[in-house]
Amino acid sequence: MPRVVIRTPVGQILSVRQRSEPVDDRPSGDFDGHQLLMHRNAQERGAVLTEWVLDGLAHHEQVIVADDAGETHGVLADHGVDVDAALTSGRLLLASPEACVEDHRVLVDRALDAAHRRVRLAFRIEFQERLLSDREGDEFEASLDESVGSRPFSVLCQCGLEGDRPFDAPIRRHHGRMYSRHLSADPGPDLTVLRGEVDLSNAASCTAAVSAAAGSCTGGRFRIDLSGLEFLGVAGCRSILDGTAEFRRNGGSVSLLSPTSLSQIVLGHVDLPASVTIEPASW
Amino acid sequence: MTHGSYVHDQLLYDTDEELVAAVAPYVAAGSEAGETVVVSTTAPVAELLHRALGHDDQVVHLRTEDAYAHPPRTLTTFMQMVRDHVRAGTTGFRIVGQIDWDVSPERQREWLRHESLVNRALGEFAIPIHGLCLYDLRSVPLDVIAAAARAHPHHVDLCGRRANPTYAPPEVFLPSVATPVELPADPAVTLRLREPSDMASFRSALTAASAESRLGPADVDAFVVAVFEIVTNALLHGEPPVDIRLAVTDGRISCSVTDVGSGFDDPLAGHLPPPEDATGASYGLWLARQLCDHVTSGQTDDGFCVRLDLLAG
């Protein structure tokens, strides 16, 4: 199945996606695949979750939200979603986190049997932390990967950045693919794409994303496309170096592709190790 | 008296003949010894030296306006030049330098700091390095000559070369030529940041306000990067809240970043390139000095403040 991924940070998605009427029944591009949303607070999560639900409803998908104590109803209603109508129509399903982790495939296949052409699931990492061991968490995320690859199915995992919640494991389980208010990381087999802005506020999650992506790199050269990175400070530059440190220690090299003029300001001043090269945009 | 392997002399002269008599043998000695020799002077001085010495492939000539355009960047460039030549196998390095002192008092202080910092910057190489700085008594202001004298471990004049008893090492010299920090007047933007997540929204405000100046897009980008490194330092190493004041005039953009922490008291902070594995505040401050025309810092009534200025043109 071809995978279409988030192309812009969340804020930009929200600013350009204003559809209120169903457009067609094709799968949505922006929310396809197995995504990890890193959110700073409940408000940010609620806004994206609402966008995600509306997008699924607009595309006639079965929308499943793992829900704890009816919390989702209020979140969606606060953002203007007619939750009762969606629930009554059967296109929105609030499922218990336990049912999701026990076997999400039952829920997905049941929806597909009920003639839904596609299914999407929203799941919070904190449920996973509460219900599953580390090993089980790995297995659960791997099973979601498998389902996304074998069914008309997509997943939006959500990880809060509040407090000291560790986020290395969620990012690793998503192979470095993540997006947040100001940064998205999109690892591919040959190229990892960073978009948005990297500064002190998100340098740690950038390090985790780059590290996970570099860990999956099978060749000797790890390539990062920086053309969509609108801001790169010293903290961001350090995060890339830190995220690739182990890969480089093992003999790998890193290519930073097409940095913007603003990113080049920092890259040009930081004393990059010999294992890291910059490849300007070629026309 | 030397600092590390760097021998740093101030040449005082008031005739062309005195200049040539001191510099020509200095350059020739370096060339004959197989050292790398770099001569950075104004065109008239270059012409005088060329007439005296003839052409020498071993001598690299640079123009003052190129080599001495921006004090922090000049220091970085000299260090890189020496590093490159050391890697290429040079056994010695000799620099003749002539700064253009016909600049603003602000810039004069920057160059005085450069004259002091070069003792430390070039004092850490394994090869012997000699520097001879040209001070023309006919044109360089006397107060500059007097201040710069304290940054040179040796003086050279008609009477010969001698150790300078008033020499002050950088950690002593720099505070003596520090520029007091002042908050920018009539700020177009004032903001208070409490945590790193506030930074992105500030960035767009800063970029928009900076674009109102006569600075080109590349300069605006550089200023934004510099300000953000200082804000990052304030949030990471200082104490929030962090207050920002940004003032834009036609030819200058100024930004102060103030936090309520105690700041830093190392007079050399951010003046020298940080080591390769540096992760602390020194990297951001050093980068800001590279990108801006003036960086001042110190305690104010509101807390510790770093002010950045970038001039158009």
Q: Does residue B291 sit in helix, strand or coil? A: helix
Instruction: Check pLDDT > 80 for residue A7.
Output: no
User: Which of B73, B195, B203, B207 is most worth mutating to test chain A (most A CB atoms within 10 A of its CB)?
Assistant: B203
Per-residue pLDDT tens over the stretch A245-275? 999 999 999 999 999 999 999 999 988 999 9
State the angle between helix axes of A71-78 and A42-58 in degrees (0 to 180), rounded to the nearest 10: 80
Residues 6+ apart with CB under 8 A from B172: none
* Residue A92 confidence (pLDDT): 95
Q: Say whether B235 and A200 touch across the interface (CB within 8 A).
A: yes
Looking at beta carbons, which residues of chain A come within 8 Å of B272? none
Residue of A222, A21, A28, A211 lying closest to A119 (CA atoms): A28
Looking at beta carbons, which residues of chain B come within 8 Å of A262? 221, 224-225
Cβ(A223)–Cβ(A209) under 8 Å?
A: no
Cβ(A31)–Cβ(A60) under 8 Å?
A: no
User: Of A26-30, A130-134, B3-7, B43-47, which range is least confident?
Assistant: A26-30
Q: Say whether B200 and A181 touch across the interface (CB within 8 A).
A: yes
Report the distance separating Cα B208 and Cα A104, nearest Å: 48
Q: How far apart are the CA of B217 and the nearest CA of chain A, in angstroms?
A: 10
A269 → closest Cβ in B200, B218, B290: B290
Q: Does residue A88 sit in helix, strand or coil? A: helix
* Residue B157 confidence (pLDDT): 87
Q: How far is CA B170 from CA A82, B118, B153, B167, in A?
A: 69, 9, 11, 10
In degrees and rounded to multiples of 5, residue B185 shows phi and psi of -80, 155
Q: How far is CA B118 from CA A252, B5, B252, in A?
A: 37, 12, 28
A201 touches chain B (CB under 8 A): yes
Report the distance separating Cα B215 and Cα B249, nearest Å: 10
* Tokens coding B39: 């001569």
The whole-model pTM stands at 0.84
Looking at beta carbons, which residues of chain A come within 8 Å of B222? 265
Q: Say whether B200 and A234 touch across the interface (CB within 8 A).
A: no
* Tokens coding B60: 């690299």
Q: Say whether B196 and A262 touch across the interface (CB within 8 A).
A: no
Q: Which residues pair with B6 in a beta bridge?
A: B3, B129
Per-residue pLDDT tens over the stretch B184-200? 999 998 999 988 878 87
Instruction: Check pLDDT > 70 for residue A131.
Output: yes
Q: What angle is formed at CA A68 by the lines to CA A67 and CA A74, rounded to 5 degrees?
A: 75
Q: What mean pLDDT value characterizes chain A? A: 86
Q: What mean pLDDT value characterizes chain B? A: 92
Q: How far apart are the CA of B276 and the nearest CA of chain A, in angstroms?
A: 6
User: Which of A184, A199, A202 is most worth mutating to test chain B (most B CB atoms within 10 A of its CB)?
Assistant: A199
Looking at beta carbons, which residues of chain B come within 8 Å of A265? 221-222, 225, 291
Give the residue-averaged pLDDT of B15-30: 96
A200 touches chain B (CB under 8 A): yes
Q: Does residue A261 sit in helix, strand or coil? A: helix
Beta carbon pairs, A and B, within 8 Å:
54
Q: Which residues pair with A224 in a beta bridge?
A: A192, A256
Cβ(A217)–Cβ(A182) under 8 Å?
A: no
Report the distance separating Cα A208 and Cα A196, nearest Å: 16
- In the stretch 251-270 of chain A, residues with CB closer than 8 A to chain B read 261-262, 265-266, 269-270
Instruction: Specify the higher pLDDT residue, B61 or B312.
Output: B61
DSSP class of B165: T
Report the distance separating Cα B38 and Cα B94, nearest Å: 6
Other CB atoms closer than 10 Å to residue A96's CB: what's the count? 13
Q: Say whether A265 and B221 touch across the interface (CB within 8 A).
A: yes
H-type alpha helices, chain B: 16-32, 43-53, 64-67, 71-87, 105-121, 142-149, 170-176, 199-210, 217-237, 281-291
Q: How far apart are the CA of B260 and the nearest CA of chain A, in angstroms?
A: 19
CA dihedral A19, A23, A27, A33 (to 10 degrees): 0
Looking at beta carbons, which residues of chain B come within 8 Å of A184? none
Give the residue-averaged pLDDT of A151-160: 95
